[in-house]
Amino acid sequence: MTNNQLTEKGQLRHFLTIEGLNRPLLTEIMDRAEQFSSISGRQVKKVPLLRGKTIMNLFFENSTRTRTTFELAAKRLSADVMNLNITTSATSKGESLLDTLHNLQAMHTDMFVVRHAQSGAAEFIAQHVAPHVSVINAGDGCHAHPTQAMLDMFTIRRHKQHFPDLRVAIVGDILHSRVARSQIHALSTLGVGEIRVIAPKTLLPSNTQTLGVHVYHDMKTGLQDVDVIIMLRLQFERMQGALLPSENEYFHSFGLDQQKLNYAKPDAIVMHPGPINRGVEISSDVADGDQSVILEQVTHGIAIRMAVMSMVLGSRSEQQESVE
Sites of contact with ligand CP (CB under 6 A): 63-66, 139, 148, 273-275
We find the least distance from the C-beta atom of residue 38 to ligand CP, in angstroms, to be 24
We find the least distance from the C-beta atom of residue 321 to ligand CP, in angstroms, to be 32
Cβ-based nearer residue to ligand CP, 49 or 232: 232
We find the least distance from the C-beta atom of residue 274 to ligand CP, in angstroms, to be 5
Cβ-based nearer residue to ligand CP, 68 or 253: 68
Using DSSP's 3-state secondary structure scheme, residue 42 falls into coil
- Residue showing the smallest CB distance to ligand CP in the complex: 66
Beta-carbon contacts of 232 under 8 Å, excluding residues fewer than 6 positions away, are 170, 171, 172, 173, 174, 177, 179, 180, 272, 273, 281
Cβ-based nearer residue to ligand CP, 52 or 275: 275
We find the least distance from the C-beta atom of residue 275 to ligand CP, in angstroms, to be 6
Bridge partners, residue 32, by sequence: none
Q: Are strands 167-171 and 228-231 parallel, antiparallel or unpaired?
A: parallel
Cβ-based nearer residue to ligand CP, 13 or 176: 176
Q: State the distance between the two ends of the chain, measured CA to CA, in whole angstroms.
A: 38
Cβ-based nearer residue to ligand CP, 141 or 273: 273
Q: Which of 115, 119, 122, 120 is nearest to 141 (CA)?
A: 119
Sheet of 167-171, strands arranged across: 214-216, 194-198, 167-171, 228-231, 269-271
Residues 138, 142, 148: CA angle, nearest 5 degrees: 35
Cβ-based nearer residue to ligand CP, 274 or 289: 274
We find the least distance from the C-beta atom of residue 62 to ligand CP, in angstroms, to be 7
We find the least distance from the C-beta atom of residue 256 to ligand CP, in angstroms, to be 17
Peptide bond into 245 cis (omega under 30): no
Rounded Cα distance between 276 and 120, Å, is 25
